[in-house]
Amino acid sequence: MSKLFPAPLLSLALAAMWLLLNDSLSAGHLLLALLFGWLLPLLFAPLRPQRPTIRHPLRIARYIVRIGWDVVLSNWEVTWDLIRFRAKPVRSAFVAVPLDLRDPSALGALAMVTTVVPGTVWCELARDSHAVLLHVWNLEDEATFIAHYKRVYEAPLLEIFE
Amino acid sequence: MNALPLWAEIVVGVLALASGMFALLGALGMTRLRTFFQRMHPTALVSTAAAWCVSLACVVYFSVTEGRLSLSYWLIVVMLAITVPITTTLLARAALFRTRQENMPGVPPPLHTEHTDFGAPH
């Protein structure tokens, strides 16, 4: 099973993407989707030497919904801050956040999530990945920001990947 | 082409307008802000809020006119979420590097490693 499907979630995502791109559920496209979902992860397995171990696939869905909601909220915040920028400038700052994550794939996911949510940009990871430097659009209190960031974004990834 | 019902016209119109507003605001932010690192943030409005609104407008429009759920436009959002952080982080790293090289203020020093294994492969 694991030899045939080295990355079952990736296979599923590729098949779903093929069907969405063609916007069709015909037998031919279903067959092609199965083929791509099976073959591409096999062909690309040598390019991913460190295969991530994903523990709780269902929690990924919950995490994605949470991120989606946070994107909406922080879009409003950044929009609002931009509109009244002349009257009330924001306090942008660099923040070093200590990390517990070590898995490279999990760190990649965290970097992606951090940068997708408006208001935070992933800038620099320490060489031993014990901390990351973020640039925050509007920093009110450093300690609460770090606690919030670790609880909302890092803790679920720790559960999913490690 | 099928005519759109009124509710769909309103939804699509509002979403398309909202998308334009977010993109305009992101562009305005680029001109208003003074430092490079602050300017990285308004562009996120374009790649998230504006892109989400216009993709949602496409999903509604084509689902109604074709009479079936067509979600393929939502792939744009997924692809943007995967690709945009890569360029943003690259730009941030380049800017950090250059600001440190020129000894300009306002940028923290590089993060040190906890253990003194500098230069050792891991």
Distance of CA B35 to the CA centre of its chain: 19
Distance CA B50, CA B18 (A): 7
Percentage, residues of chain B above pLDDT 70: 91
Q: How confident is the model at residue B116 (pLDDT cuts 50, 70, 90)?
A: low
Res B16: pLDDT: 95
Res B114: pLDDT: 66
User: Which residues lie closer than 8 Å to A7 by C-beta, 6 or more apart?
Assistant: A41, A45, A48, A51
Q: Is the pLDDT of residue A16 over 60?
A: yes
> Average model confidence (pLDDT) for chain A?
88
CB contact under 8 A, A75 and B48: yes
CB contact under 8 A, A124 and B22: no
**CA end-to-end span of chain B:** 60
pLDDT digit string (tens) for A64-93? Answer: 999 999 999 999 999 999 888 888 888 889
**Shortest alpha-carbon distance between residue A69 and chain B (Å):** 12
Chain B (21-80) residues lying within 8 Å, Cβ to Cβ, of chain A:
22, 25, 28-29, 32-33, 35, 37-38, 40-42, 44-45, 47-49, 52, 70-72, 74-75
CB contact under 8 A, A116 and B115: no
Residue type, A90: V
Q: Is the pLDDT of residue B122 over 70?
A: no
pLDDT (mean) for A97-113 = 90
The lowest-confidence range among A5-14, A78-87, A143-152, B5-14 is A5-14
**Shortest alpha-carbon distance between residue B32 and chain A (Å):** 8
pLDDT (mean) for B23-36 = 89
pLDDT digit string (tens) for A50-62? Answer: 777 777 878 888 9
Say whether residue B4 is in contact with chain A using an 8 A CB cutoff: no
Edge-to-edge order in the sheet of strand A120-125: A93-98, A131-136, A120-125
pLDDT (mean) for B62-74 = 87
**Shortest alpha-carbon distance between residue A110 and chain B (Å):** 11
Percentage, residues of chain B above pLDDT 90: 49
User: Which residues lie closer than 8 Å to A151 by C-beta, 6 or more apart?
Assistant: none
Handedness of CA A16, A19, A24, A30 (dihedral sign): negative
Around B93, how many Cα atoms within 13 Å sit in the side-chain half-sphere? 14
Distance CA B48, CA B85 (A): 11
> Where in chain A are the domains?
8-47, 57-161
- Residue A73 φ then ψ, to 5°: -60, -50
**Shortest alpha-carbon distance between residue A73 and chain B (Å):** 10
For the entire predicted model, the pTM comes to 0.85
Asked if residues A115 and B85 have their Cβ atoms less than 8 Å apart, the reply is yes
Q: Is the pLDDT of residue B121 over 60?
A: no
